[in-house]
Amino acid sequence: MNTRQICRQLSVTPKMLRVYEEGGLIRPKRGENNYREYSESDALRIRMIAMLRKLGFSVKEIRRIFQEKQDDVESMLYAFYVQLKAIEMQRQQLKQKRQNITAAINRMLAGASPMDSLYEQETASMYDTIRDQWNFDEMAENYVARFLQEDSEYQEGIGQARQFLRKLPKDSRILDAGGGTCYLWKELRGFSQVTILDNSLPMLLYARQTFAAQRYLLQDVLDVPTQQGEYDVVISTFLLHHLNYAEQQLALKNLLAMLKPEGILYIVDRFFQSADEKQRWKQLYEETGDQRGMQEISTEYFPLAGELEEALWREGYSVTVQRKGRFVRCFQASAAGRSYPPG
């Protein structure tokens, strides 16, 4: 396509194309007459650039986005991922602005002057903020190797989950919710219908190199599931304690919604038995000066085992629980009366 055709097809101007080219974002080939010729790949890239520009990214920032990955396909995937993160961030910023404006109105209703009510919180550049989260995603790829390899309770919990999975028929439809880097599946082979779900694209790309799943889904367990009633087994390992208690309830509801009526939910995580037990551990850590323990309690939301078991019973599931060490528990919940797989 020549310049006129690409402008008509993508609703861009020749000036915009020149800016993109001068910024190193596109490199159209030149024909024999020295006119620019745009390929389908160029058209896709221009469309992506235009979308990023509409979200507020500068040409310089977009160049950084495309330079993150050498592989063309992964580069485009990351560009889409950045758009998704930008929309999520803008949604949060709009929510904060709404709260600020509401607070300003209430201050004025209470007698404050309009000038005292004007307040706009400064925010970091959008791409730098997103990149910080992106860095966390990439660091999390080797989180197990760096922090959890010597964590005996974590390893025991993963080992118990692997034992559970080995008892399943290899053609079971399995969803791994919050599958991360697929460390769980490192020693498992032969399963033909496994879906890995995670809200981090870097995690999923890394997981594809670790385990050949049937499907990978970029999705948050807090979002309304698009695949309801599809799976024989839904498994979650060390996911819930990263969510606050209200989010844990929503995640549980969504995990159950993805199960078939006769399906099995298997959860491995760090638990307190009850709020009283959590308070006892907090008090112990304070008395002994255990800073690591205090940080863990203050930054993580260990689910409450008693409440989880009660919630599953209310939904009509029979529950078996195995305890591993101080905090790790393995919950197996199935439709009342079922005991499959055995053990």
Please, which pLDDT band fits residue 231 given cuts at 50, 70 and 90? Answer: very high
SS3 sequence of the chain: CCHHHHHHHHCCCHHHHHHHHHCCCCCCEECCCCCEECCHHHHHHHHHHHHHHHCCCCHHHHHHHHHCCCCHHHHHHHHHHHHHHHHHHHHHHHHHHHHHHHHHHHHHHCCCCHHHHCCCCCCCCHHHHHHHHHHHHHHHCCHHHHHHCCCHHHHHHHHHHHHHHHCCCCCCCEEEECCCCCHHHCCCCCCCCEEEEECCHHHHHHHHHHCCCCEEEECCCCCCCCCCCCEEEEEEECCHHHCCHHHHHHHHHHHHHCEEEEEEEEEEEECECCHHHHHHHHHHHHHHCCHHHHHHHHHCCCCEHHHHHHHHHHCCEEEEEEEECCCEEEEEEEECCCCCCCC
Regarding the domain delimited by 3-54, which CATH topology (the fold level of the hierarchy) does it fall under? Multidrug-efflux Transporter Regulator; Chain: A; Domain 2 (1.10.1660)
pLDDT tens-digit series, residues 280-333: 988 998 889 888 888 877 777 899 999 999 999 999 999 999 998 889 999 999
The reply to whether the predicted model has a pTM over 0.85 is no
The rounded percent of the chain whose pLDDT value lies above 70 is: 89
Superfamily of domain 143-335: Vaccinia Virus protein VP39 (3.40.50.150)
pLDDT tens-digit series, residues 82-110: 888 888 888 888 888 888 888 888 888 88
pLDDT tens-digit series, residues 160-192: 999 999 999 999 999 999 998 899 998 898 999
Mean pLDDT of the chain: 86
pLDDT tens-digit series, residues 251-262: 999 999 999 999
